[in-house]
Amino acid sequence: MASIITMPKLGLTMKTGTVTHWNAAVGDPVVEGEVVVEVMTEKITYQLESPATGVLLKVLVYEDEEVPVGTLIGVVGQSGEDVSTLLTRDFAAEAAASISGVAPAPADAAAGAGAPAAASPAGQPSPASRVAATPAARKLAAEVGVDITHLSGTGPGGRVTIEDVTRAAEDVYAAPARAAAPGPSAAPAEPERPVREVVPYHGVRRAIGERMVASHGTSPTVTHHVKADVHPLLELVASMNATRPEGERVSVTAAVVKAVALGIEKTPRINSSLHDDRIMVWSEVNVGVAVAVPDGLIVPVVRDVDRLGVVEISRRIKDLAGRAREDTLQPEEVSGGTFTVTSLSGFGSVDWFSPIINPPEAAILGVGRVVDDVVVVDGRVEVRPTMGLSLTFDHRIIDGAPAAEFLAALLDCLAHPERLAE
Amino acid sequence: MAVRNFGQAIADGLILEMERDPDVYIVGEDVATFPAFGVTRACYERFGATRVRDTPVSETAIMGHAVGAAAAGLRPVAEIMFMDFLGIILDELANQAAKMHYMFGGTMKVPLVVRTVSGAGIGAAAQHSQSLEAWVTHTPGLKMIAPSTPADAKGLIAAAVRDDNPVVFMEHKLLYATEGEVPDGEYVLPIGKADIKRAGSDVTIVSWSSMVQKSLAAADLLAADGVAAEVLDLRTLVPLDKDAILESLGRTHRLVIVHEAVKTSGFGAEVAAIVADEGFDLLDAPIKRVTAPDTPVPFSPVLEAAFVPDAAKIRAAVLSLG
């Protein structure tokens, strides 16, 4: 008996979904529970598991096709099985019955992209009464500590609903960053000009956008800038790489990540999150490293960098970044970060910038280009390689002084990098 | 269990009560010789003209007689052929029957049942098609029952006969031909208990009488839309099972109320007000009412069909909450 895969309904408001990727081709063997296809709603990407063990017999909806909820998108059965009667049924019309044919597993292609959460823990007074929200959503928001003023409602009349609050709460408390309720934003009038290209603002792109807005609107940030003399650091990296084959070379970024871990050891508050009425200072030092991917960015997380050597950190960053570009990261590899490093060094065009914090983290380090500059060394003018560093921090929980202290520790590591190689 | 229609189920219940208690009898226009909807024919055949009594065509006489008999200790089941005639019996019902127990300090009981026929759908026009349950619910001292299935009708008519208060028992004329499984023998349901006719998690549809059937049809349509609707049949409006409404809403967070009566001051407004008061924090969407418009029931079949709420209107109301 063949089993069907239909477009799942993932909420009362979902009307259609788009198939984004088939992991199996027609004729491929599949195992029950194995992810066979990914679908995208306006909010999120979901991975659908095979409902049975057998062969993928039919693919009815191809990649990038958008179809109504309940539509038959694939059939799994035994090789040679006749499934013609299945193909004549109108599953969209039988949606409620057919949805149970497949188990949706939330996977979140958007996970780790940019900053999560369109919500902040409550605690700041806010004009909540002016936001359209249902009574049940208000009650839930108060209970779980979500500030509804930052949510865009998806309910009737644009009201914030239980679903919106739940999603926001998951974003804040269950670190795996998930898209905030995008909600229907007021569509500006179409400009009457020739258009070169229309890029859909949805999925991961939209998730990044919503999180940036949420982060920027939630935390009052300050950015400290400094120019670091990285001559000793580059010498160390060069000496470490002198004996290494091409594929195993240590990156400068890995050395900076290790320096961050040592800096956090001196000023632990940098490695914290604001949860409701508590500031959680974390034991683990899990550093996210932002990776540019086509039309977006992903922040895979290197865990426990304080316990890893720079060689291992370098190897892990390389592995994670490669798989980020191939879109094969697992959810746990893009969640649980406590601090983020984002580098524009490779472009050679930026010294300093003001990165946006990746909530619920408290700080982010921007790494600029390495460029020869004039510096004073022991009273003498010298030309040295320098690196621009920019530390953005959440002033609700980190003051300017400890942030400066952290940067001082970081600079000290870069000036005496032999500690990094230990 | 046997398959019975709605009218047969009521007759079954009445016959069992008349066998059980010699004080129970039936009175009304044509109840013995030529019942308008056939319900009491079997009672007449079983018990004869003494306990199934035809009256002159005077609702005032029927009710005056029945209230007096109940106050004196009998248990009359009076039939008012169309609910529209409530106006003629209102003094006997609302000023006498409903108030005696209170005005005589609890020493009087009025164990009276008024069976009456409601609803549009057969081209009976403005004076024979109304749903006037809200006239009854607005009078303290009266109980108001409006079943939707043969089984509930049997169980609740028995409960109405056994109740020591005046009870109005509303029978929608389109329900008489509907069939369903009915428990054999003595079967009594509690008055004041709602019943989940279909379970669902996305929205609660509250209704009673024939609109329960329309709501179930709407729930079928909604299932195809991917919306799991719960259909809660109130069965009795007074006393009202508030707990069942709030409990269901606690799971679905969305409420649609469906009744055939006109909208303004309909019993749906009472349900909505109770929920706004006692269940405010449960609501995740505005409360919607699906009702007849505020007009007399039209005689034109086309307009009559447009007047009565149907599954499509209920579905549209539910989807407007998404």
More confident residue, B47 or A116: B47
B82 has pLDDT over 80 = yes
Residue B149 burial (10 A CB sphere; 0-12, 13-18, 19+)? buried
CB-side neighbour CA atoms (13 Å) of A63: 9
How do residues B162-208 score in pLDDT, each as one tens digit? 999 999 999 999 999 999 999 999 999 999 999 999 999 999 999 99
Q: pTM here?
A: 0.53
Nearest to B226 among A95, A139, A155 (CB): A95
Strands B113-118 and B229-233: unpaired
**A232: three-class secondary structure by DSSP:** helix
Largest CA distance in chain A: 86
The pLDDT assigned to A147 comes to 83
For residue B295, what pLDDT band results from cuts at 50, 70 and 90? very high
**Spatial contact of A394 and A378, defined as CB atoms under 8 Å apart:** no
Burial of A392 (0-12, 13-18, 19+ CB in 10 A): buried
Cα–Cα distance, A29 to B111 (Å, whole number):
73
* A48 to chain B, closest Cα gap in Å: 18
Single-letter amino acid code for the residue at A122: A
Stretch B39-53: mean pLDDT: 97
In chain A, which residues have their Cβ closer than 8 Å to the Cβ of B228? 96
Per-residue pLDDT of A319-334, as tens digits, reads 999 988 887 888 788 8
CATH code of the domain in which B240 resides? 3.40.50.920
Q: Please, which residues 293-322 of chain B have a Cβ atom closer than 8 Å to chain A?
A: 320-322
Number of residues that this document lists for chain A: 422
A99 interfacial to chain B (CB closer than 8 Å): yes
Q: What is the pLDDT of residue A111?
A: 36
- Using CB atoms, which residue from B202, B226, B282 is nearest to A136? B282
Residue A106 reports pLDDT greater than 50? no
Examine the domain organization and report whether B30 and B151 are in the same domain. Answer: yes
**Six token digits for residue B227:** 């919306």
Residues A15-41 have a mean pLDDT of 87
Tokens of A101: 């044919």
Please give the Cα distance from B230 to B244 (Å, whole number). Answer: 12
Q: What is the mean pLDDT of residues B129-137?
A: 98
What's the confidence (pLDDT) of residue A422?
Answer: 67
> What's B104-159 look like in SS3?
CCCCCCCCCEEEEEECCCCCCCCCCCCCCHHHHHCCCCCEEECCCCHHHHHHHHHH
Q: How confident is the model at residue B68 (pLDDT cuts 50, 70, 90)?
A: very high
Helix orientation angle between A252-266 and A231-242, rounded to the nearest 10 degrees: 120
What integer best gives the mean pLDDT of chain A? Answer: 82
Contact across the interface for A12 and B282, Cβ inside 8 Å: no
| From A150, A399, A412, A416, active-site residue | A399
pLDDT digits 0-9 by tens, A241-287: 998 888 889 999 999 999 999 999 999 999 999 988 899 999 999 99
Q: In this structure, how many other beta carbons lie within 10 angstroms of the beta carbon of residue A399?
A: 13
Q: What is the pLDDT of residue A419?
A: 82
| DSSP tag of A133 | B
Structure letter (DSSP) for residue A146: B
B149 in a structural domain: yes
- Residue range(s) defining the domain that contains residue B292: 195-319
Q: Higher confidence at residue A340 or residue A127?
A: A340
Average pLDDT over residues A128-138: 78
B309 in the same domain as B221: yes
Res. B88: pLDDT tops 60: yes
Rounded mean pLDDT of B280-284? 93
Lowest mean pLDDT among A20-24, A229-233, A234-238, B97-101: A20-24
Q: Does B283 touch chain A (CB under 8 A)?
A: yes
Regarding whether B135 and B22 lie in a shared domain, the answer is yes
DSSP string for residues in A276-303: TTEEEE-SS--EEE-EEETTEEE--EET
B229 three-class SS: strand
Are residues B166 and B200 located together in one domain of the fold?
no
Q: Considering only alpha carbons, which residue of chain A is nearest residue B253?
A: A136
- Is position B142 within any domain? yes
The b/e string for A262-280 (b: 16+ C-beta within 10 A; e otherwise) is bbbeebebbbbbbeeeeee
- Looking at residue A142, its pLDDT comes to 84
Query: Residue A301's closest CA among A320, A315, A283?
Result: A320
Are B226 and A137 within 8 A, CB to CB?
no
What average pLDDT does this structure show over A4-17?
78
Give the residue on A whose Cα is nearest the Cα of B282.
Answer: A136
Flag whether B189 is in a domain.
Answer: no
How does residue A130 score in pLDDT terms, banded at 50, 70 and 90? low
Choose among A70, A157, A162: nearest Cβ to B253: A162
Q: What is the mean pLDDT of residues A366-384?
A: 93
| ipTM, 2 dp | 0.71
B259 is catalytic: no
Residue with tokens 């069907």: A4
Smallest CA–CA distance from A141 into chain B, residue: B281
Residues 97 through 156 of chain B touching chain A, CB cutoff 8 Å = none
Q: Give B256-271 pLDDT, tens digit per residue.
A: 999 999 999 999 999 9
Domain shared by B67 and B132, yes or no = yes
On whether residue B216 sits in a domain, the answer given is: yes
Residue A406 has a pLDDT of 96
- The encoded tokens of residue B257 equal 């109320």
**Contact check, Cβ <8 Å, A155/B227:** no
User: In whole angstroms, what is the distance from residue B123 CA to residue B297 CA?
Assistant: 9
Given B202, B223, B281, which is nearest A12 (Cβ)? B202
**Percent above pLDDT 70 for chain B:** 100
3-state secondary structure of A170: helix
Q: Is residue B24 part of a domain?
A: yes
- Which residue does chain A place closest to B225, by CA atoms? A95
Rounded Cα gap, residues A40 and A47, in angstroms: 9
Interval A136-186: pLDDT, tens: 998 888 887 788 887 888 888 888 999 888 888 877 655 433 333 344 444
Closest by alpha carbon to A160, among A13, A332, A376, A330? Answer: A13
Q: Is the pLDDT of residue A206 over 60?
A: yes
Distance CA A370, CA B141 (A): 88
Give the closest of A12, A134, A161 to B227, CB-based.
A12
The answer to whether residues B61 and B159 belong to one domain is yes
Domain for residue B190, yes or no? no
- Looking at the fold, whether B177 and B200 belong to one and the same domain comes out as no
What's the pLDDT band for A196 if we cut at 50, 70, 90? confident
Q: How many domains, in total, are found in chain B?
A: 2
Residue in chain A lying closest to B221 (CA):
A93
CA distance B303 to A393: 68
Question: A32 and chain B: CB distance < 8 Å anywhere?
Answer: no
Option in B223, B283, B322 nearest A12 (CB):
B322
- Grouping H, G, I as helix, E, B as strand and the rest as coil, residue B264 is coil
- Which chain B residue has the Cα nearest residue A93? B224
The answer to whether the Cα torsion of B307, B313, B318, B320 is positive or negative is negative
B285 and B154 in a common domain: no
Residue of A nearest to B249 (CA): A136
Q: Residue A191 pLDDT > 60, yes or no?
A: no
Q: Do B234 and B168 reside in the same domain of the chain?
A: no
Question: Residues B159, B18: one domain?
Answer: yes
The verdict on residue B187 lying in a domain is no
In CATH, what number is assigned to the domain containing residue B78? Answer: 3.40.50.970
What's the confidence (pLDDT) of residue B31?
97
Contacts of A69 in chain B (CB under 8 A): 226
What residues in B contact A137, CB-CB < 8 Å? 284
- Residue where one domain finishes, among candidates B182, B203, B227: B182
pLDDT of residue B44: 97
Residues of chain B found within 8 Å of residue A68, distances taken between Cβ atoms = none
**CB count, 10 Å around CB of B74?**
17
- Answer yes or no: do A96 and B223 touch at CB < 8 A: yes
Q: Are residues B115 and B72 in the same domain?
A: yes
Looking at the complex, does the CB of residue A96 fall below 8 Å from at least one CB of chain B?
A: yes
Find residue B138's DSSP bridge partners: none
Q: Is A174 helix (H, G, I), strand (E, B) or coil?
A: coil
Q: Are B12 and B120 members of one domain? A: yes
* A134 in contact with B, Cβ within 8 Å: yes
Residue A27 falls in which region: left (phi positive, over 0), alpha (psi -120 to 50) or beta? left
Query: What is the Cα–Cα distance from A335 to A117, expressed in whole angstroms?
Result: 13
Name B7's Cβ contacts closer than 8 Å, sequence gap at least 6. B37, B38, B39, B171, B176, B177
Could you say which residues from 197 to 216 on chain B have a Cβ atom under 8 Å away from some Cβ of chain A? 202
Q: Are A256 and A302 in contact (CB under 8 A)?
A: no
Residue ending a domain, choose from B182, B206, B239: B182
The per-residue pLDDT for A350 is: 95
Residues in chain A closer than 8 A to B322 (CB atoms) = 12-13, 156
A417: exposed, middle or buried (Cβ count in 10 Å: 0-12, 13-18, 19+): buried
Contact with chain B for residue A10, Cβ under 8 A:
no
- Which among B202, B228, B284 has CB closest to A155? B284
- Domain-embedded: residue B256: yes
**Of the candidates A344, A348, A321, A347, the residue with the CA atom closest to the CA atom of residue A333:** A321
Which of A91-105, A188-202, B291-305 has the lowest average pLDDT?
A91-105
Nearest-Cα distance to chain B for A319, in Å, is 42
Instruction: Count interface pairs A-B at CB distance under 8 A.
Output: 54
- Side-by-side strand order, sheet with A339-343: A221-229, A380-394, A363-377, A339-343, A287-289, A301-302
Please report, for chain B, how many H helices and E strands are present, in that order: 12, 14
pLDDT-derived band at B18 (thresholds 50, 70, 90) equals very high
Final residue before a domain boundary, out of B182, B217, B248:
B182
Least confident stretch, A236-245, B51-60, B176-185, B213-222 = A236-245
* Chain B interface includes A142 (CB < 8 A): no
* Distance of alpha carbon B253 from alpha carbon B272, whole angstroms: 13
